[in-house]
Amino acid sequence: MNSDTAAVEQSLDGKMLFYRQPELLNHEAHGSLGLRRPERPYEFARSARIVPLTLGEISSAQKHYPVIFSDMDNPMPLAVVGRDENVNLFVDENGRWERGAYIPAYARCHPFALAARSDDEFAVVIDRAADSVTDDPEQPFFDGGKITPETQSLMDFCARYDAETKRTAEFGRRLKELGLLVGQQVTRTAPGGEAETFASYITVDGDKLNELEASALQELFGSGFLAGAFAQLFSLENWQLIIGRQLRRTGAPGSG
């Protein structure tokens, strides 16, 4: 085992959302495997409360989900798909994502992912435990020792996603540097008429954004970061949709 491979395999010891058994894709171990569309295609995401987003996805995601940031230190955008643990309000009992709702690219990459081999090289990872990975595939991973075109297409999609995450990290860092992130809470009215905290989250501070100097606004506009910041703010209207979905799911009073 060379040092690069060892480094990648060590990185797989960390938790990857949705990936139960991440392994480096190789012909020796996976030559007979491939993909078959499972009956429950998004069962792996049914217990998620948040799903990572890239900057370019925020404008689409904000139509359906509140978009928040992961933390203040290394802020990355996240789509809120549920409030309670183990409940994704957009995946039904049949493991299917709600028709018409935007499906984050991170979820669409599964069971593939990329893992860093070095600063500018990556290894392809598959979730060996995914329901879509089988030894009776519709789309084999390999053909005569070579990656099939279908597999290459999925790998290319993951590569584009990974490239976009780097730009997204720059987006978060710049918002942090400009002091544009703030912690907030969303409340709902309990059956007794009292307000209670539904969720705490990190968001762009709209007031501070409006107070930025023209030069900073121009910089954000030129980088595409300003559009992302406004789309994130617009998405917060969807908290009421999440509250409504949560009440309907639990059958709580006031769920309508």
Read off the pTM. 0.88
Comparing 12-16, 93-97, 139-143, the range with the smallest average pLDDT is 12-16
CB 201 within 8 Å of CB 256: no
CA distance 67 to 78: 5
State yes or no: pLDDT of 110 exceeds 70: yes
State yes or no: pLDDT of 160 exceeds 90: yes
State yes or no: pLDDT of 254 exceeds 60: no
Q: 15 pLDDT band (50/70/90 cuts)?
A: confident
CA distance 241 to 67: 13
pLDDT digits (tens, 9 = 90+) for 34-64: 999 999 999 999 999 999 999 999 999 999 9
- What confidence score (pLDDT) does residue 83 get? 87
Q: How many other C-beta atoms are found inside a 10 Å radius of the C-beta of residue 252?
A: 13
State yes or no: pLDDT of 121 exceeds 60: yes
pLDDT digits (tens, 9 = 90+) for 188-232: 877 677 788 889 999 999 999 999 999 999 999 999 999 999 999
- What confidence score (pLDDT) does residue 253 get? 52
- Which residue type occupies 148? T
User: Collapsing DSSP states into helix, strand and coil, what is residue 256?
Assistant: coil
Q: 247 pLDDT band (50/70/90 cuts)?
A: confident
State yes or no: pLDDT of 1 exceeds 70: no
Count CA atoms within 13 Å of residue 47 on its CB side: 6
C-alpha distances (whole Å) from 82 to each of 59, 125, 177, 239, 245 are 19, 27, 29, 10, 9
Q: 252 pLDDT band (50/70/90 cuts)?
A: low
Strand-pairing partners, residue 114, are: 124
- What confidence score (pLDDT) does residue 8 get? 38
State yes or no: pLDDT of 256 exceeds 80: no
- What confidence score (pLDDT) does residue 9 get? 42
State yes or no: pLDDT of 108 exceeds 90: yes
**Average pLDDT across the chain, whole number:** 89
Higher pLDDT, 162 or 7: 162
Under 8 Å CB-to-CB from 53, ≥6 apart: which residues? 61, 67, 76, 77, 78, 79, 104, 105, 106, 168
Distance from the Cα of residue 131 to its chain's centroid: 19
